[in-house]
Amino acid sequence: MAGRLSGKAAIVFGAGSSGPGWGNGKAAAVAYAREGAQVACVDLDQAAADETASIIEREGGLAVPIAADVTGIASIEQAVAQSVAQFGRIDILHNNVGVTHMGGPVELSEEQFAAALDLNIGPVYRTAKAVIPHMLQQGGGAIVNISSLAAIRWTGYPYFAYYATKAAVNQATVALAMQYARQGIRANCIMPGLIDTPLIYRQISGQYASVEEMVAARNAAVPLGRMGTAWDVANAAVFLASDEARFITGVCLPVDGGQSCAVSEFH
């Protein structure tokens, strides 16, 4: 498949979807493939990885589904080795794993806080540890980490651990960008705002009286008048991973319909 990423190989961690429809990781994996990349679709759930890879293959792309646990370095190293064995290189590392636990420091258990650290910032460290040596050997690559608007502002939800760990993703991305700039590795992150994905119906909807109320409130909070979609995030990821962004590194890019620019109602 010809496109902006022709000849490149991508590994997408969190390439499945948490429910029916399009999550950010699933859309990113397919978007990379549609631009010509070969894609390793990595997810904790083998069936979810299989589904994303199957979509890519049905569209004429090349994909390999891999089951891996991003909380373990051995599992990540095995996934990276399998990807390299399949494609011969890794040009794009995409991190899309995360979890939200509602509650401030008083309400959160130590186990929940530790899990947030392990699942939100831990994979950025572990995947970089496993992938960067390959990028250094081949002379460069692009890292795209999915952060959140919660990294830089209060979003109205009481999830202390999520704010803290997503802020860490931003600065970890900057650190990677600066340390490896002279070796040809670019690192950027995307900060999605209010995005309509399967995840919100599982982890966010409990903050509202009904799903309908959640959707209406989230749409109303965005200056453009609607939530974004997983494709809005995926399209930004494709640009940052492509050679069109070859002079862009260390950037934390809001994809939020203008929400980061607005002074919204405090709730």
Residue 1 has pLDDT above 80, yes or no: no
Predicted local confidence at residue 19, as pLDDT: 73
**7 class by beta-carbon count within 10 Å (0-12 exposed, 13-18 middle, 19+ buried):** exposed
φ/ψ bin of 114: left (φ > 0), alpha (ψ from -120 to 50), beta (otherwise): alpha
pLDDT tens column, 99-156: 889 999 999 999 999 999 999 999 999 999 999 999 999 999 999 999 999 999 998 8
Tell me the residue range of the domain where 110 lies.
9-193+231-251
Residue 224 lies in a domain: no
pLDDT tens column, 168-219: 999 999 999 999 999 999 999 999 999 998 777 877 777 888 888 889 988 9
Q: Which residue out of 162, 163, 180, 208 is catalytically annotated?
A: 162
What does the mean pLDDT of the chain come to? 94
Contact at 8 Å (CB) between 79 and 68?
yes
pTM passes above 0.75:
yes
Rounded to the nearest 10 degrees, how much is the dihedral formed by the CA atoms of 34, 38, 41, 42? -140
In percent, the amount of the chain with pLDDT more than 70 equals: 98
Residue 118 lies in a domain: yes
Residue 261 lies in a domain: no
Residue 198 lies in a domain: no
User: Is there a catalytic annotation at residue 162?
Assistant: yes
143: domain CATH number? 3.40.50.720
Of residues 248 and 266, more confidence is placed in 248
Predicted local confidence at residue 206, as pLDDT: 77
Give the total number of structural domains in the chain: 1
